[in-house]
Amino acid sequence: MNEIRRGGRRSDHRQALEQEAPFDLLIIGGGASGAGAALDAVTRGLKVALLERDDLSAGTSSRSTKLIHGGVRYLEKAVKRLDRTQFALVRDALHERAVLLRNAPHLCHALPLVTPLYATLQVPYIMTGLKMYDWLAGRTNLHPSRFVNAREAKRRFPQLKAAGLRGGVIYYDGQFDDARMNVAIALSAAERGAVIVTHAEVTALHHEGGRVAGVTVLDRLSGERVEVGARAVVNATGPYADSVRRLDDPEAEPMLSASSGIHIVLDGRFAPPDTGLLIPQTEDGRVLFLLPWLGSTLIGTTDQPAPVVDDPEASEQEIEYILRHLERYFDVPVTRGDVKAAWSGLRPLVSDPTASDTARLSRDHVVHVSDSGLVTIAGGKWTTYRRMATDTVDAAITAGRLGDVPRPATVDLKLVGAERLDPDGVAALQARGFEADVADYLHHAYGDRAELVAELATDGLGARLAADHPYLEAEVVYAQRHELAVSAADVLYRRTRLGFLDEAATAAAMPRVEALLES
């Protein structure tokens, strides 16, 4: 395996891109799929570069529901269609849930979710399904699901509408911080030798003898164009996968369609701090999650066919849809004025010409290899990023004729922040004078690296970026020096998560973050 040798400063990676080319494997896209493939490949001893047009997880990977799950909804499909493939998908994802919880325990935790039941007939149906979920998880099950009466359901989730409530089922899944996980995976790859250049867009593919052999990359900060050679090229650009496939073959048939899934964020009083809610049946036959997240309440998601655009926005119609469901299930009034942030993520769905709506298309991932050897990874979900990575790199090894390459070593690989995690880390930070919410946040966001952020904070950068949030000025400087961040948006949206939680506070913090980045 490569030695640990690269930190998290973008300029170092940019320099290395030219100095170290050509690469065994070049990955386009720095979301969960691309970062996962980079980590998988460096653990096999491959020389890897990853190019991301914007920032790590700037696409769908920072806009998920933040659940590490087998997919209760996919289980329902498996049962209804008696589909063994769907069962296997759920079981594999539950296995990956356990791997993530083990390898990045600072960024993930088990979360109980209440499913409220308003019709007695629903009880056996939902209870049987969730017991099957427990069974599929096997030894990795977090806690057994159980039925609770209406009083207990209301005690666990006090905002629930009491009228007609028959009871609830409590089950467990994992919850995580998606963008910070993405950064941890990318940095884990970088520390093992991967070159990871953000704000670097692939604008052309090169071919030699009909085989893909490299790319042209536009450095979006300097405006320079650089040619980078590679024996194998992976296209991990999520909803943009077809546009990169057309750089390879202008005649390539589209493979994907996109649908928008939005979330809204309310403040923390709309959910208890340690329990989520699963609304099992929306008006269009979906499920809706309502989750405590980073001190706020996260609610989503929707499923609307959508064009592929940068920074997709949540429409008023989609926001209205979520508020309408809350009204049905909540005793507490929620209005449009309570929405502190709303955002959309694009699901790249593998096209199936026979399906009539996007909800029916498969969520499973597809690895496609073009005639020239371009490997495209599309679909899938965050939870299974590690398995998707292995399938992708396996395909790239064959397509690029990379020879005899060992299997990946990621199943027990502790991600950055988890290697020397101190179980008493929160108390240690509090003992150093950090307020309880800040200590808790720093420990969970940075794991064993929280100490480095704390040092910057005690060195004059201890002020908060926003009054009601635990984010500190120190994180801006830390993100720039150690986490490949460049712009204020990188810091506010994907190193801290303020941009996803509180739009007004983000706008207010922007000038200070810009000033810190320039100082």
Ligand X SMILES: Cc1cc2nc3c(=O)[nH]c(=O)nc-3n(C[C@H](O)[C@H](O)[C@H](O)COP(=O)(O)OP(=O)(O)OC[C@H]3O[C@@H](n4cnc5c(N)ncnc54)[C@H](O)[C@@H]3O)c2cc1C
Which residues of this protein are in contact with ligand X, per CB under 6 A?
Answer: 28-34, 51-54, 57-61, 63-67, 69, 201-202, 236-240, 244, 261, 301, 345-347, 380-383
Query: Of 291, 325, 358, 360, nearest to 65 (Cα)?
Result: 291
Q: How far apart are CA 192 and CA 485, in angstroms?
A: 19
Smallest gap, in angstroms, from Cβ of residue 158 to ligand X?
A: 24
Nearer to ligand X, 383 or 390 (CB): 383
Q: How far apart are CA 477 and CA 469, in angstroms?
A: 18
Burial of residue 510 (CB within 10 Å: 0-12, 13-18, 19+) is middle
Smallest gap, in angstroms, from Cβ of residue 474 to ligand X?
A: 26
Smallest gap, in angstroms, from Cβ of residue 513 to ligand X?
A: 21
b/e string for 368-381 if b means 16 or more Cβ within 10 A? bebebbbbbbbbbb
Within 10 Å of residue 268's Cβ, how many Cβ atoms?
15
Nearer to ligand X, 30 or 116 (CB): 30
Q: Residue 232 corresponds to which amino acid?
A: A
* Contact call for residues 195 and 211 (beta carbons, < 8 A): no
Could you check whether the bond before residue 22 is cis, i.e. omega within 30 degrees of 0? yes
Alpha carbon 128 to chain centroid distance?
A: 29
Nearer to ligand X, 202 or 375 (CB): 202
Q: How far apart are CA 362 and CA 383, in angstroms?
A: 15
Smallest gap, in angstroms, from Cβ of residue 67 to ligand X?
A: 4
Query: Of 263, 357, 345, nearest to 305 (Cα)?
Result: 357
Nearer to ligand X, 411 or 508 (CB): 411
Report the DSSP pairing between strands 23-28 and 48-51. parallel
Nearer to ligand X, 29 or 499 (CB): 29
Smallest gap, in angstroms, from Cβ of residue 97 to ligand X?
A: 9
Smallest gap, in angstroms, from Cβ of residue 448 to ligand X?
A: 25
Smallest gap, in angstroms, from Cβ of residue 57 to ligand X?
A: 6
Smallest gap, in angstroms, from Cβ of residue 358 to ligand X?
A: 11
Nearer to ligand X, 201 or 451 (CB): 201
Question: Alpha carbon of 452 to those of 154, 479, 482: distances in Å?
Answer: 42, 11, 10
Smallest gap, in angstroms, from Cβ of residue 127 to ligand X?
A: 23
Smallest gap, in angstroms, from Cβ of residue 66 to ligand X?
A: 6
Residue 230: strand pairing partners: 23
Report the DSSP pairing between strands 225-235 and 375-378. parallel
Torsions phi, psi for 388 (to 5 deg): -60, -40
Nearer to ligand X, 33 or 257 (CB): 33
What does the CA dihedral 307, 336, 491, 465 come to, rounded to 10 degrees? 170
Smallest gap, in angstroms, from Cβ of residue 176 to ligand X?
A: 8
**DSSP symbols for 311-368:** S----HHHHHHHHHHHHHHBSS---GGG--EEEEEEEEEEP-TT-SSGGGS--S-EEE
At residue 227, the 3 state secondary structure works out as strand
Nearer to ligand X, 64 or 115 (CB): 64
Nearer to ligand X, 160 or 181 (CB): 181
Nearer to ligand X, 161 or 368 (CB): 368
Query: Of 451, 466, 463, nearest to 497 (Cα)?
Result: 466
Nearer to ligand X, 195 or 454 (CB): 195
